[in-house]
Chain A
Amino acid sequence: MRHIKAEVFSKKILNDTYVEVVFANKFNIQPNPGQFVHILTKATFIRRPFSIAGCTDQWVRILFKIRGPGTKKLSEVKKGMQLDIIGPLGNSFPSVDKKAKIYLVAGGIGIAPILFVAEQFVKEKRYFKLFYGARNHKDLLIQFLPDGEYIKFFTTDDGSFGKKGTVVEVFEKKSEEEKPDIVFAAGPMKMLEKLSISCKQHNIDAYISLENIMFCGLGVCQGCVIETIDGYKRVCKEGPIFNSKKIKWNLKN
């Protein structure tokens, strides 16, 4: 990890509430899919964590939804401005066997870390399927999906694009037809909980990206813990990627 001041290369507002920011990659190590950055917003007292949605040696991309004053302020950055960033932080999705069947599942803005994984998998010519759901057509950021020979399933709550329903329902149906070896997922807590229950029933390993209110992001304050079967674990350090079997869901972390 490193504390950097990085130049903003580009900013795009997508569909009114989603934002793409691309900034200079000045990290000392190359980020891995699943890792996040902690950004000073200048509108909130503490930093805000964002999943890395893609990167090269030159740049890092984040995608986020405008939710409060912090994300609002960040949506106003302009090309050439400097962002104060700590990263890359946290663990990453585990490495998997070249021949493994991998299903990627994303709900809403949870697409951010999944895009980074998908890009890597396309490069590595892996076999994988993508399940991507959102509230409606507008909320699906399809333009960011990497080109490649993988199968995509889309769902929307209102049926405005893809199948009407939840992404977990479609995932379950397809899993019964062809069981995956491993699942990587990100999205709202409720979706991840349902997905985890389903994966547990079918004995599928699922690795999920969790969010929490986070102060330090560096592992020093113990503020962002969630309860697991091995005790409290820091989302910023032992996470954000967890094996879903380890999470104690019933306690509403």
Chain B
Amino acid sequence: MKIRIGKLDLDTPVLPASGTFGYGDELVDVMDYRHLGAIITKTLTLDETKGNPPPRVWELENGLLNSIGLQNIGVKRFCKEKLHILSRLNKPLIVSVSGKTTDELTKCIEFLTLRKEISAFELNLSCPNIDEKIISEDPEMTFKTIEKIRKITDKTLIAKLSPNVSDITQTGIAAEKAGADILCAVNTFKGAYFDWEKMKFYKGGVSGKMIFPMALRSVFELYKKVSIPIIGIGGIDSGKKALEMILAGASAVGIGTAAVIFPDLVAKICHEIYQFMEMENKSFISLIGKMNEKEK
């Protein structure tokens, strides 16, 4: 099931999803890392970020609403405290980065790109919890931002796309044109929760089982329009759903919320993909987009 996407050589097409995997090393006791294609960090910002005041998570019927606000230790402390541990895991290391401004994001990448332990950057241009305009909701801003970042790093660039747009292929195409190597679809959906005890509304991003059909649709549409690989993320909680993403056009899948609830899920999904390949007598690569068609 090995696959190469961008300049990344993945042992398996199953990845953790940023934000549900800490800095990358915290789950070694409960998860079998051998089944992971790569390690991905939570989103880092240039300076340490305090995050949003609690409460930060709300349970939904088949999902989760969160408003963490990108709490993280910042790129400098990350390099000092975490990088040496992560490099020992012997997996491609994807670092998720964000910034309040393009300038801040650029500085992040300039700082991190010097580190050979890092294989790729996931550009979190769609974090809905920062009260500024969201880059990945606008094709032009997406293009300009990625174009700028492309000039300062040779590492694999993954553009994480926001699903909170009317047509995700617009931002996807913009990201590809600007030089992104991989697309990652999708980030969390904008959602709200009403707390009846406190009589108060909370806003956040929705993840988990309930977003799967929309995430699948996003990957299905994107595959038709772009030629770079896609990482499909959003509500995958079984091998079957992972395969649906792959058949729609994902070259790899990300497991977030469900992998936190079921730490053994990543191994199960790998096993089920493998079983399907055996049963169909197909290589992994031949399954990608098999039930979909490119438009050009």
Given A220-B260, A222-B71, A223-B68, A213 and B26 contact (CB-CB distance below 8 Å)? no
Question: Which residues from A are CB-within-8-Å of B261?
Answer: 40, 45-47
Minimal Cβ-Cβ distance residue in A for B264 = A3
State A86–B26 Cα separation when bound (angstroms). Answer: 14
- A220–B39 Cα distance when bound, in Å, is 13
The verdict on A232 contacting B51 (CB below 8 Å), with A218-B27, A225-B56 known, is yes
Tell me whether A220 and B50 are in contact in the complex, defined as CB-CB below 8 angstroms, given that A45-B59, A45-B61 are known contacts: no
- CB within 8 A of B54: which of A40, A86, A216, A227? A227
Q: In the assembled complex, which residues on chain A have CB atoms less than 8 Å from the CB atom of B6?
A: none
Is A100 part of the contact surface with B, judged by Cβ < 8 Å?
no
Using CB atoms, name the residue of chain B closest to A48: B59
> Are A253 and B54 in contact, with the CB atoms below 8 A?
yes
**Do A220 and B53 have beta carbons less than 8 Å apart?**
no
Asked if B66 contacts A223 (CB within 8 A), the reply is yes
* A231–B48 alpha-carbon span in the complex (Å): 12
A215 touching B54 in the complex, CB below 8 Å, given contacts A46-B261, A86-B263, A220-B27 = no
Minimal beta-carbon separation of A22 from chain B (angstroms) = 23
Point out the residues of chain A lying under 8 angstroms from B27, CB to CB. 218, 220
Task: Select A221's contact among B30, B57, B63, B263, beta carbons within 8 Å.
Answer: B57
Tell me, rounded to whole Å, the shortest Cβ–Cβ distance linking B189 to chain A: 16
Per the CB 8 Å criterion, the residue count for chain A at the interface is 28
A212 within 8 Å of B by Cβ?
A: yes
Interface positions, chain A 170-226, Cβ under 8 Å from B, are 212-216, 218-226
* Residue of B20, B30, B64, B262 with most chain A CB atoms under a 10 A cut-off: B30
A2 contacts partner chain B, Cβ-Cβ < 8 Å:
yes
A1 within 8 A of B: yes
Q: A219-B22, A227-B54 are in contact. Are A2 and B30 (CB under 8 A)?
A: yes
Query: In the complex, what residue of chain A is closest to B72 when comparing beta carbons?
Result: A222
Interface pair A220/B66, CB less than 8 Å apart: no
Q: Is residue A17 within 8 Å, beta carbon to beta carbon, of the partner chain?
A: no
A15 within 8 A of B: no
Q: Closest Cβ of chain B: how far from A3's Cβ, in Å?
A: 4
The reply to whether A220 and B54 form a contact with Cβ atoms under 8 Å apart is: no
- In whole Å, how far is B259's beta carbon from the nearest beta carbon of chain A? 10
The answer for the CA separation of A220 and B57 in the assembled complex, in Å, is 13
Across-interface contacts of B29 in A (CB, < 8 A): 1-2
Q: How far is the CA of A232 from the CA of B59 in the complex (A)?
A: 21
Q: Known contacts A45-B208, A222-B51, A253-B54; is A86 also within 8 Å of B64 by CB? A: no
Distance in angstroms from B110 CB to nearest chain A CB is 26
In the complex, what residue of chain A is closest to B263 when comparing beta carbons? A3
Q: With A1-B30, A86-B263 in contact, do A215 and B66 touch (Cβ < 8 Å)?
A: yes
Cβ of A44 within 8 Å of any chain B Cβ, yes or no, is yes
Across the interface, do A223 and B61 meet the contact criterion of CB distance under 8 Å? no
Smallest CB gap from B57: residue in A: A223
Query: How long is the Cα–Cα vector from A40 to B260 in the complex, in angstroms?
Result: 11
Known contacts A2-B30, A225-B71; A218/B59 CB under 8 A: no
Contacts of B76 in A (CB 8 A): none
> Any chain A CB within 8 A of the CB of B121?
no
Give B15-45 as 1s and 0s: 1 = Cβ < 8 Å from A's Cβ atoms.
0000111100011011100000000001000
B98 to chain A, nearest CB (A): 15
A-B complex: 5 closest residue pairs judged by Cβ atoms: A220-B22, A223-B57, A3-B30, A216-B260, A215-B57
Known: A221-B22, A222-B42. 6 other contacts (CB 8 A): A86-B263, A213-B57, A220-B21, A221-B20, A224-B54, A225-B71
- A interface with B by C-beta (< 8 Å): 1-3, 40, 44-47, 86, 212-216, 218-227, 231-232, 251, 253
Can you list 9 pairs linking A and B with CB atoms under 8 Å apart? A2-B29, A44-B59, A46-B59, A86-B30, A216-B260, A220-B21, A223-B57, A224-B57, A227-B54
